[in-house]
Amino acid sequence: MNKDVVPITVKGVMPTANGCAVFLGQDDKTFVIYVDHAVGNAIQMTLAGVKKERPLTHDLIGHLLLGLGAQLEHVVINDVSGGTFFARILLRMENELGKKIVEVDARPSDSIVLALQHRRPLFVARKVLDSVEDMTEILERVLKQQADEAAKSEENKEDEPKSDDDEEEKP
C-alpha cells in the first residue's frame, strides 16, 4: 500500500437524530461519517457478530461476489466534498484466464459494512484524513459517558430490592 492512503478502523457507531455517526480513524485522528439508520445498524450488527435470520442487502452483495469468484481486497475512502464522503471498493477476480482487479465506486457506509463482513482492510486517502476535523476528543467523551451510564445502571440493578418472585420457592 502506498503513502497516499492510511489504514483505519471503525472506532464507534453512535445513534443520532437523523441516522448514525460512524467514527473512523487511527491512533492519531478520528473522523465521522454520518449514515442512515439502516446502514448504521448493519455496521453495529457486523461489529457485534450478530447472526441474522435472513440475508440483508450487504449479505446478498457478499454472496454475489462469492458466486462470481470475486474477493473484496480493500476499501478506500478516497474523497470528501461538502461533507459528503466517497469510497472505492477494490475487488480481485482470478480464474484460469488470469487475474483482474476491479475498482467500484460506492458509498462509504456500504463499503464499511462489506469490508467488516469480509474482514478486509479499510483505508482513507491521506488528503481526506488531512482535511477532516479531528473528533477523537468527542468520541472519548461519548464513550466515557456511555460507560458511566452503564455502570450507574448496573448499580441501580444491584440496589433494587428483591421481590418474592425473584427467590426460588423452597419446599
Predicted confidence band at 25 (pLDDT cuts at 50, 70, 90)?
very high
Taking the C-alpha atoms of residue 168 and residue 84, their distance in angstroms, rounded to an integer, is 57
Q: State the Cα–Cα distance between residues 154 and 131, nearest whole angstrom.
A: 41
Mean pLDDT, residues 144-163? 75
Among candidates 129, 70, 61, which has minimal Cα distance to 94?
70
Q: What percent of the chain has pLDDT over 90?
A: 49
What's the pTM value of the predicted model, to 2 decimals?
A: 0.80
Model confidence at 154: pLDDT above 90: no
Residue boundaries of the structural domains of the chain:
5-149
Higher pLDDT, 145 or 74: 74
Looking at CATH, the fold of the domain delimited by 5-149 is given as Bifunctional nuclease domain (3.10.690)
Q: What is the DSSP string of 45-64?
A: HHHHTPPPSS--HHHHHHHH
What's the rounded Cα separation, in Å, for the pair 73 and 62?
A: 12
Q: Which of 88, 95, 91, 27 is nearest to 65 (CA)?
A: 91
Which parts of 25-170 fold into alpha helices (H)?
Answer: 37-48, 57-68, 108-117, 126-131, 136-159
pLDDT at 157 over 90: no
Compute how many other C-beta atoms are within 10 angstroms of the C-beta atom of residue 17.
4
Determine which of 67-71, 83-87, 91-95, 147-151 has the lowest per-residue pLDDT on average. Answer: 147-151
